[in-house]
């Protein structure tokens, strides 16, 4: 009898223990949901700016500096690239990364930032003041800016329309492509965007001649009746004295793409001709009288003038073999070997070498490696730039690297028929034909345009 009673009491105690355990677990789950549930939901929403909660639209938000006075550099987040790697590539100071990342995390999961995101960095001297993140999938811009020693971030929800615009021009006596684009309702940013299309095969500061013609179609971003930026250049042509270059954009389906020629090769090459856009050549490759010593001797590179502190990028992917300070001739300088291509490049007179740029460091094309200065044997701020091929120095302005991508076979035929020939036809017809068929109010989009023109474009 006592044994039966003891067994019954044990079952009751066990039931009470299980009920208490369930109650404790329920309370813990409720507490966790209260503490973290809403923030997880906001993180999920913040990765989809089109569905942002109302609190994400910070109307009237402003930073403590003038954005118009900043010097902007930009690049795109590459496929598989982490934000930390991007910051390495763009030489964002280590001390700024924790507060910057913390600010961004209040708005989105930075690990989910898609490839192709355009990241613009606004600098005041060597001080990073603002970082903007935009993507074709976003209908808003994630902005992070300084407030004292910290960063704050918000989504600037900016409804916009994309319109296609046609530009063309001719180089007149004493003129330039830059001046022609700006005079034809463009601006400096658009001019640089056009330079970047052909920068691997054509150096505008040297190769441009009177009578050269250019034309291109670009996506314009409009908000509330004002043009606020540019998307992709979809087709571009430069007709010079000796040849005509035609580049047409081929999307890769994940928000990025490349400009190809009719042979299926990209215009982007594995080596830049010069390591920053729109540089002014002050001394060419060849024999000259040295401006400091007065001696007549061989000048083994080109001198590119720019403002002190202008970022200089690696001309191609490779490994830094030397990064030295205070050389009597080169000043602060960097030497890079570019894989098995046989190319090597050298950069001299830096104001300073970028962090992490040291012997053995690996760099990508476009990685910031230093800043224009006047260290060493110089008369003013400029970059001294040299190129070697198989150990022999060569004229940097005559360098033509290899295409970074090629398409052939059925893929090439499809590209030529559906994209390249229709856009080439548009460029052939010129501005008058464009305005007649596609007035600004029509807002033609690329897929509509290429489909409409496919049947009428001549076969080439």
286-306 pLDDT, tens digit each: 776 666 666 667 778 888 888
Instruction: Please say whether the dihedral angle defined by the alpha carbons of residues 125, 129, 130 and 131, taken in this order, is positive or negative.
Output: positive
Q: Which CATH architecture has domain 280-398?
A: Distorted Sandwich (2.70)
| 324 vs 352: CA distance, rounded Å | 10
CATH 3.10.450.350 fits 68-157, yes or no: yes
| 147 vs 145: CA distance, rounded Å | 7
Contact 142, 211 (CB under 8 A): no
Largest CA distance in the chain: 118
- What is the structure's pLDDT at 288? 66
Q: Quote the tokens at residue 302.
A: 């080109």
Q: Quote the tokens at residue 180.
A: 């022609």
pLDDT digits (tens, 9 = 90+) for 125-161: 888 999 999 886 676 889 999 887 789 998 887 677 8
Count CB neighbours of 109 within 10 A: 13
pTM of the model: 0.60
Contact 309, 371 (CB under 8 A): yes
Give the rounded distance of the alpha carbon of 258 from its chain centre: 13
Q: What is the radius of gyration, based on Cα positions, of the chain?
A: 28
Q: Where are the domains of the chain?
A: 68-157, 161-268+404-454, 280-398
Residues across the chain: 460
The dotted CATH code for 161-268+404-454 is 3.10.450.350
- What is the structure's pLDDT at 250? 93
**Is residue 320 packed enough to be buried (19+ CB in 10 Å), middle (13-18) or exposed (0-12)?**
buried
Q: Which of 267, 239, 243 is nearest to 171 (CA)?
A: 239
Q: Quote the tokens at residue 84.
A: 């930390």
Contact 368, 320 (CB under 8 A): no
Residues of the chain with pLDDT under 50: 2-5, 22, 26-60, 439-460
Give φ, ψ of 25 to 5 degrees: -65, -40
Q: Do domains 68-157 and 161-268+404-454 have the same CATH topology?
A: yes
- What is the structure's pLDDT at 224? 67
- What is the structure's pLDDT at 320? 97
- What is the structure's pLDDT at 46? 26
Instruction: Please say whether the dihedral angle defined by the alpha carbons of residues 340, 343, 349 and 350, taken in this order, is positive or negative.
Output: negative
- What is the structure's pLDDT at 431? 75
- What is the structure's pLDDT at 49? 30
Which residues have CB under 8 Å from 105's CB, separation 6+?
A: none
């Amino acid at each position: 009898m006592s044994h039966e009673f003891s067994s019954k009491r044990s079952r009751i105690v066990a039931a009470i223990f299980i009920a208490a355990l369930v109650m404790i677990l329920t309370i813990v789950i409720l507490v966790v949901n209260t503490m973290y549930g809403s923030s997880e939901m906001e993180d999920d929403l913040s990765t989809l700016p089109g569905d942002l909660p109302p609190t994400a639209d910070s109307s009237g938000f402003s930073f403590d500096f003038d954005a118009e006075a900043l010097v902007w550099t930009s690049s795109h987040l590459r496929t598989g690239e982490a934000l930390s790697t991007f910051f390495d590539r763009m030489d964002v100071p280590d001390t700024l990364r924790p507060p910057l990342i913390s600010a961004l995390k209040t708005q989105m999961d930075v690990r989910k930032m898609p490839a192709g995101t355009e990241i613009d960095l606004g600098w005041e001297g060597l001080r990073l003041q603002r970082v903007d993140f935009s993507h074709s999938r976003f209908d808003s811009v994630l902005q992070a800016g300084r407030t004292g020693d910290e960063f704050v971030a918000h989504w600037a929800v900016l409804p916009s329309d994309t319109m296609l615009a046609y530009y063309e021009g001719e180089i007149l006596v004493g003129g330039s492509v830059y001046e022609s684009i700006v005079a034809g309702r463009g601006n400096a940013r658009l001019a640089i965007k056009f330079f970047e299309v052909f920068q691997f095969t054509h150096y505008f500061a040297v190769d441009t001649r009177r009578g050269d013609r250019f034309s291109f179609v670009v996506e314009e971003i409009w908000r509330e009746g004002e043009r606020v930026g540019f998307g992709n250049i979809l087709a571009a042509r430069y007709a010079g004295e000796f040849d005509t270059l035609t580049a047409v954009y081929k999307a890769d389906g994940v928000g990025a793409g490349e400009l190809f020629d009719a042979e299926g090769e990209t215009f982007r090459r594995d080596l830049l001709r010069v390591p920053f856009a729109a540089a002014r050549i002050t001394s060419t490759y060849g024999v000259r009288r040295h401006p400091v010593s007065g001696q007549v001797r061989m000048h083994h590179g080109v001198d590119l003038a720019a403002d002190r502190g202008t970022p200089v990028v690696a001309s191609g992917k490779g490994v830094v073999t030397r990064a030295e300070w205070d050389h009597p001739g080169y000043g602060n300088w960097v030497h890079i070997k570019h894989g098995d291509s046989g190319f090597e490049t050298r950069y001299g007179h830096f104001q300073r070498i970028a962090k992490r740029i040291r012997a053995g460091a690996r760099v990508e094309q476009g990685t910031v490696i230093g800043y224009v200065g006047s260290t060493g044997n110089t008369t003013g701020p400029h970059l001294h730039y040299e190129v070697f091929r198989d150990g022999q120095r060569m004229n940097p302005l005559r360098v033509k690297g290899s295409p970074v991508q090629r398409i052939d076979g059925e893929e090439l035929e499809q590209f030529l028929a559906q994209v390249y020939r229709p856009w080439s036809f548009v460029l052939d017809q010129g501005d008058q034909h464009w305005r007649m068929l596609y007035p600004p109010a029509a807002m033609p989009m690329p897929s509509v345009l290429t489909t409409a023109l496919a049947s009428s474009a001549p076969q080439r």
